[in-house]
Amino acid sequence: MNERLETTAEGVWAMGDCAGSPHFTHVAFDDYRIVRDNWRGAARSTRGRLIPFCMFTDPELARVGLNENEASHSGRAYRRVRIDIGQVLRTRTLSETRGFLKALISADGDEILGFTALGPQAGEIVAVVQTAMLAKMPYIALRDCFHASHYGRRAGHAVFPRCRRVPWQAPRKGGVYVAGWHQRNRHHSQPSVG
């Protein structure tokens, strides 16, 4: 099967689990849309899809983009920002202060590489961040915008202002996380600070 979800048998397409896609209903639906459009003559593929996930637990866990392990393995330098979800005031009025928000931001720019939320309505927060990532918006666009939803607005305002560029420092002993910067190779040359 190829990235257009065509199998080796002419006129036979694959979707969902049999296509080897991640096992989520929303991914299977996107597979269907790719097959439908390609069947009508479009040239869509699965390449480069930004696939979010959400576990509807209590509290919800949702993620989109790279996590720290994936960023490390890909060699991407990043800044990590993490706050307790209790810093979002709306969680206090809901009496749901368990959890966190975490963002990975490119070390050499303002691109959002990944975002994880554990807390109430985490899936809704991740959907906003996913949209920004698909539009190639910098994290500062989320930081500076305002939403009608008090919860979403406060979450973006709480996590993204804490993302600051910091000067390079030597890695801590045995570690690769460096004062807000992460480098795959701790012997890597000093990153540029823009």
**57-115 confidence digits (pLDDT tens):** 999 999 999 999 999 999 999 999 998 988 887 788 888 889 999 999 999 889 999 99
Domains of the chain with CATH codes: 1-49 (no CATH), 53-166 (3.30.390.30)
pTM of the model: 0.73
**5-21 confidence digits (pLDDT tens):** 999 999 899 998 888 88
Alpha-carbon distances of 154 from 65, 85, 91, 147, rounded to whole Å: 21, 10, 10, 9
In percent, the amount of the chain with pLDDT more than 70 equals 75
* pLDDT value for 189: 37
* pLDDT value for 182: 39
pLDDT band, very low/low/confident/very high, at 152 (cuts 50, 70, 90): low
Residue 169, pLDDT above cutoff 50: no
Burial of 176 by CB count in 10 Å (0-12 exposed, 13-18 middle, 19+ buried)?
middle
Say if strands 60-65 and 112-119 run parallel, antiparallel, or are unpaired.
antiparallel
